Chain A
Amino acid sequence: GEKVEQHESTLSVREGDSAVINCTYTDTASSYFPWYKQEAGKGLHFVIDIRSNVDRKQSQRLIVLLDKKAKRFSLHITATQPEDSAIYFCAASKPTGYQNFYFGKGTSLTVIP
């Protein structure tokens, strides 16, 4: 089955700097890669996603890059703010119609004011 590795377990950046979280996957059939944010005591909140037909997607301060050859994707948060502090999860899924998400282990991001 699919395995998603999330390389940074913790990450600290200063407010205003950029944060980068890297993930790799194993199944070449995976084609959808979402990112979720989890704040303390809460469920997962969708932040951004990318599909395999593109290699870059941006939504305001969030940029997702996808390298299909390397089976790697990354989340870039620019101009970080204290409210960006949370756990971020990457995931991968296949286009089966009832896709299951395979999640990475999460990255705890702390933005230092």
Chain B
Amino acid sequence: ETAVFQTPNYHVTQVGNEVSFNCKQTLGHDTMYWYKQDSKKLLKIMFSYNNKQLIVNETVPRRFSPQSSDKAHLNLRIKSVEPEDSAVYLCASTQRGHYEQYFGPGTRLTVL
């Protein structure tokens, strides 16, 4: 049963454009994450967000920024996309003090 929702499923855009991806979780969790999965399936953490506070930013370029309206939502904005941004972006959530992270289905970004 899906409890972490991501939109859109796919997005194709051109270099220099701005994009925004949405993530919503219905699990009542207080911490959300964004991961990037590249073409080789390598997964890397981008952001951790807890109660509207950015906890960790793992050397992500400044054109990426997380945006949260409440603890159930964490969006990802990319100001000016570059070809190397082509990837699948996965959102996840967890509850502080717990271990398991729940993942959404991902948003596939293609930059032409």
Contacts and interface: CB of A to CB of B under 8 A. Distances in A.
Interface of A: 32, 34, 36, 38, 42-46, 49, 51, 87, 89, 93, 97-103, 105-106
A98 to B, nearest CB: 5
A100 B100 contact: no
Given A100-B33, A100-B58, A105-B42, A46 B105 contact: no
Given A36-B103, A42-B105, 13 more contacts: A32-B99, A34-B99, A38-B41, A43-B105, A49-B100, A97-B96, A98-B96, A99-B99, A100-B58, A101-B101, A103-B43, A105-B40, A105-B41
Contact of A89 (B43, B58, B106): B43
Interface in B15-37: 31, 33
A46 B100 contact: yes
B72 interface: no
A43 B93 CA distance: 13
B56 A100 contact: yes
A99 B45 CA distance: 11
Given A36-B103, A46-B100, A51-B99, A98 B50 contact: yes
Interface of B: 4, 6, 31, 33, 40-45, 48, 50, 55-56, 58, 90, 92, 94, 96-97, 99-106
A44 B97 CA distance: 21
A106 B44 CA distance: 12
Nearest to A104: B43
Contacts of A102: 45
B84 to A, nearest CB: 18
A87 B99 contact: no
A36 B58 CA distance: 21
